[in-house]
Structure 1
Amino acid sequence: MTDKTPAQLSETVGDAIRALTHATLGSPRPGWEYPGDAYSVVGNLVYMTGMLPQALEQTAQLLKRLEDEGHLKSDRDTLTADLEAAYAGLTIAAGAAETLRGALNRAHSGLGPIAYKD
């Protein structure tokens, strides 16, 4: 378990992806020289994207609970429309994450048999 909040953890994920983009810029470099390096990175991204739908659903569940308890308001006095947009966006994002996971899984499978040749 962690003492970090969900917001802090999601920030950590964003920072990790930013660091990954920097670490994969340019080649060769230690840890980014061989097909197995790409295989490992893509495999880890498959794992990460596979968890996104659950995180998004649990975010929607938090909003729904707060809505049901009457603890939400909108700064624009458009709470119903704002919640509809939030719920729809979270649902679309979860589907997109599943699509992304599937594409990454396909790439990962393709990378499996590829090896470095001297």
Structure 2
Amino acid sequence: MTDKTPAQLADAAGDAIRALNHATLGRQADWEYPGDAYSVVGNLAHMAGMLPQALDQIAQLLKRLEGEGHLKSDRDTLADDLEAAHDGLTIAAGAAETLRGALDRAQNGLGSVAYKED
């Protein structure tokens, strides 16, 4: 499927969002009509909807490595560190679902918005 690592793919996703931020700064081709916003919001909603699975799979990796005895903490606080990581991943997954729902709502609102010629 891809020869990139999960970390490289996450980095590329960050780069794509950075590029999106630049591309939406001002008026330009393919960024001048409500339909353009509708499409971008829909794609962002799709992306947000996929984040919980990725976050769960990160948590599963940590659980597997812990079960195999392959984890340690540089601070000798492994249990606390893992609890913080798992709590953060759970909260992030919920936040991603909230984000997806909000973006779906925004896209639904944009569905009936059209450009009005002068």
TM-score of the two chains, using structure 2 as the length reference: 0.98
Q: Which residue of 2 aligns with 1:18?
A: 18
Structure 2 counterparts to residues 1-118 of structure 1, below 5 A: 1-26=1-26, 28-118=27-117
Cα deviation, residue 7, structure 1: 0.4
- Equivalent-residue separation in structure 1 for 2:30 and 2:12 (angstroms): 21
Runs of 4+ in 1 over 6 A off after TM superposition: none
- Equivalent-residue separation in structure 2 for 1:4 and 1:115 (angstroms): 40
Where 2:19 maps in the other structure, the secondary structure is helix
- Equivalent-residue separation in structure 1 for 2:45 and 2:95 (angstroms): 13
- Equivalent-residue separation in structure 2 for 1:49 and 1:86 (angstroms): 20
TM-score of the two chains, using structure 1 as the length reference: 0.98
Q: Deviations over 1:32-68 (max 9, x none)?
A: 1000000000000010000000000000000000000
- Equivalent-residue separation in structure 1 for 2:54 and 2:45 (angstroms): 15
Percent identity of paired positions between Structure 1 and Structure 2: 79
- Equivalent-residue separation in structure 2 for 1:14 and 1:98 (angstroms): 19
Q: Deviations over 1:16-46 (max 9, x none)?
A: 00000000001x2011100000000000001
Where 1:82 maps in the other structure, the secondary structure is helix
User: Structure 2: any 5+ residue segments left out of the alignment?
Assistant: none
Q: Deviations over 1:43-101 (max 9, x none)?
A: 00010000000000000000000000000001111000000000000000000000000
